[in-house]
Amino acid sequence: MAEGKVTSLHVARRAGVSQSAVSRVFSGASASEQTVRKVRKAAEHLGYRPNPLARAMITGKSKIIGLVVAYLDNQFYPLALEHLSNALQEQGYHVLVFMAPNDEAAVEKVVHDLMDYQVAGIITASVGMTNDLTQRCTDAGIPVVMFNRGQDGSGISSVTSANVAGGAQIADFLVAGGHTRIAHIAGWEGSSTGRDRQRGFTDRLAHHAMESVAIIDGHFDREIAAQATRDIMAGPQPADAIFVGNDHMAFAVMDTLRSELGLSVPDDVSVVGYDDVPLAAWAAYDLTTLRQPLVRMVEATVDTLLAKITDAARPAQKIEIEGPLILRGSAKIPEGWTA
């Protein structure tokens, strides 16, 4: 073929088989060894590559998974996308990544675009979906799994760390460290992860007959977290410990405390984050943080999605996986606790 695009019909003619036989070979369907050899030899000679999108348009099925993420500023999400992509590729799926801010109209447009690509399934990371949009995916036979986010009453499977338990564990740690003025810079209240971490934290403080001196919604944003730190430390009860809703904000909190306010971490203020991104272990931060079990969360997400692709009637699952508190130098370590 010197000119024009090579098609499956050209391959079929050269191999001496039907066009449907070529389709079976490249879709992984049943075909004799002799047919497979002839088709692949002809395809290699002609330089033919099957078009998975075109095949999806014809069959209504694809080996493509759509990944939707709201933002990549938080170092946790590039890692999550890398692990999710690798895990799906190992299962023979291609990955299509879309960015969508946490806005109903933007998310709806992205999901509609993914449906146009005839994706086999969708994973949303840090993105919410309306019940109407969920129903449309269900009607189209496209399963959805939410990663690091839940949505009660949506009928969507979700995989998160055990956020309530994690928040409670951090409260126990700070109280045991002798802190009496504990503040919380929470994650975005519009997200289940932010709300659950805050609920676990404040409920456990109440169990200790304590309450936060301040709770501020940090919106998972560095600049907002930095301003929240200024407000907390300028208030009537400056904090002696701050639990921050994720590491991304915690780094801003530490920078503000040390570089701007001239305070020592942890001598003046203990800081605890949530996620345990690689930067948390750097000597510049040495951040005590609740580790999200990323590998197990990814495995559970992929297993749940592929099971739903295989069995559309499979009920939705809400999976929560506990992670450990990683002790480093940003917080006073209570007597008896070991790093």
Q: Are residues 132 and 35 in the same domain?
A: no
> Which alpha helices (H) appear in 147-269, and where do they start and end?
163-176, 192-207, 222-233, 247-255
Q: Are residues 91 and 157 in the same domain?
A: yes
Cα 65-66-67 angle, rounded to 5 deg: 115
> Rg of the chain's alpha carbons, rounded to an integer?
25
Q: Are residues 73 and 138 in the same domain?
A: yes
Q: Are residues 172 and 281 in the same domain?
A: yes
- Residue 100 has what DSSP assignment? -
Has residue 58 been placed in a domain? no
Q: Which of 37-46, 60-69, 237-246 has the highest mean pLDDT?
A: 237-246
Has residue 207 been placed in a domain? yes
The count of residues in the chain is 339
The H helix count followed by the E strand count for the chain is 12, 12
**Residue 336, phi-psi category: left (phi > 0), alpha (psi -120 to 50), beta (remainder):** left
Amino acid 211: pLDDT = 96
pLDDT digit string, tens, across residues 207-217: 999 999 999 99
Has residue 243 been placed in a domain? yes
Q: How far apart are CA 327 and CA 339, in angstroms?
A: 5
58 pLDDT more than 70: no
Q: Are residues 118 and 40 in the same domain?
A: no
Q: Are residues 188 and 279 in the same domain?
A: yes
Q: Are residues 179 and 258 in the same domain?
A: yes
Q: Are residues 45 and 87 in the same domain?
A: no
Q: Are residues 87 and 135 in the same domain?
A: yes
Q: Are residues 179 and 231 in the same domain?
A: yes
Query: Looking at the whole model, is its pTM more than 0.85?
Result: no
151 pLDDT more than 50: yes
60 pLDDT more than 60: no
Arithmetic mean of pLDDT over the chain: 89
Q: How far apart are CA 219 and CA 284, in angstroms?
A: 24
**Residue 269, phi-psi category: left (phi > 0), alpha (psi -120 to 50), beta (remainder):** beta
Q: Are residues 140 and 177 in the same domain?
A: no
Has residue 22 been placed in a domain? yes
CATH number where 155 lies: 3.40.50.2300
Our measurement of the distance from residue 14's CA atom to the centroid of its chain's CA atoms, rounded to an integer in Å, reads 46
110 pLDDT more than 80: yes
Pick from 123-132, 161-170, 248-257, 282-291: least confident:
123-132
Amino acid 94: pLDDT = 86
Structural domains of the chain, count: 3
Has residue 268 been placed in a domain? yes
51 pLDDT more than 50: yes
Has residue 228 been placed in a domain? yes
Has residue 197 been placed in a domain? yes
Q: Are residues 97 and 137 in the same domain?
A: yes
Cis peptide before 293 (omega within 30 of 0): no
Query: Sheet of 270-275: strands edge to edge?
Result: 214-217, 182-186, 241-244, 270-275, 288-291, 325-326
Q: What is the mean pLDDT of residues 145-151?
A: 89
294 pLDDT more than 50: yes
Amino acid 1: pLDDT = 45
Has residue 330 been placed in a domain? no
Please give the sequence-ordered ranges of beta strands (E in DSSP) within the chain, or none if there are none.
Answer: 64-69, 94-99, 121-125, 144-147, 157-161, 182-186, 214-217, 241-244, 270-275, 288-291, 318-321, 325-326
Residue 28's domain comprises 8-50
Amino acid 2: pLDDT = 45
